[in-house]
């Protein structure tokens, strides 16, 4: 049976729950709810698993805080013996407008501390789903922006993005990275 590790990046704790920086957590929460599965508090994170057409998907929300996400990723890849090409990290991205999704097979961390730590520990060769959170903040206001909550209008834009992200995650496991990139990245152009 093929296994996949789907990691949503965010920060644990109620004070971060609805923030832009927790968009990865929000997407995995929606996936778990739609699949009728529940996260358990385990080593380095909250984890659950589900089957999608014969493939086992482990959903992980690291409890290490964003800047140490690599610890959780490396631990669960090793523990479940999941090949790195079966890793998909779902992450918020300031460089993309709200509502935009970009699936990539590798690349830089784009200044994102969570991706930076993962790359420090396992290298840049892993898939990531970048979820645009926009960048409508004044100079020097980046931290307040990413740790701020979505307003009502933004939440309306975000809902279909969450649903499309779940489709992308399933396609990644079923059809592979290249086919999924070709299918979904065009929709966002």
Phi, psi at residue 188, to the nearest 5°?
-95, -5
CB 98: neighbour CB atoms within 10 A?
18
Sign of the C-alpha dihedral computed for residues 101, 103, 107 and 109 taken in this order: positive
Nearest to 123 by CA among 169, 65, 73, 180: 73
Q: Residue 118 is inside which H or E element, if any?
A: helix 113-122
* Of 21, 112, 130, 164, catalytic: 21
| Neighbouring residues of 84: CB distance < 8 A, sequence distance ≥ 6 | 77, 122, 123, 125, 126
Q: Which two tokens stand for residue 28?
A: 């995995």
Phi, psi at residue 108, to the nearest 5°?
-80, 170
The answer to whether 113 is a known ligand-binding residue is yes
Burial of 43 (0-12, 13-18, 19+ CB in 10 A): exposed
Identify whether 21 is a catalytic site residue: yes
The answer to whether 75 is a known ligand-binding residue is no
The answer to whether 67 is a known ligand-binding residue is yes
Q: Which residues are annotated as a binding site for tRNA?
A: 16, 65, 67, 113
Which residues are part of the catalytic machinery? 21
Q: Which residues are annotated as a binding site?
A: 16, 65, 67, 113
């Amino acid at each position: 049976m093929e296994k996949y590790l789907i990691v949503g990046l965010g920060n644990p704790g109620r004070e971060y729950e609805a923030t832009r920086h927790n968009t990865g957590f929000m997407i995995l929460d929606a996936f778990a709810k739609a699949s009728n599965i529940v996260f358990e508090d385990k080593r380095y994170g909250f984890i659950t698993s589900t089957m999608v057409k014969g493939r086992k998907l482990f959903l992980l929300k690291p409890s290490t805080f964003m800047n140490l996400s690599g610890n959780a990723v490396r631990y669960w890849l090793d523990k479940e013996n999941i090949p790195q090409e079966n890793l998909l990290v779902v992450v918020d991205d300031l460089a993309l407008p709200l509502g935009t999704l970009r699936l990539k097979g590798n690349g830089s961390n784009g200044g994102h501390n969570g991706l930076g730590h993962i790359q420090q520990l396992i290298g840049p060769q892993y898939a990531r789903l970048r979820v645009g959170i926009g960048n409508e903040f004044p100079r020097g206001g980046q931290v307040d922006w990413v740790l701020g909550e979505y307003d009502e209008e933004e939440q309306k834009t975000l809902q279909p993005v969450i649903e499309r992200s779940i489709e992308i995650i399933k396609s990644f496991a079923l059809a592979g990275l290249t086919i999924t990139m070709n299918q979904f990245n065009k929709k966002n152009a």
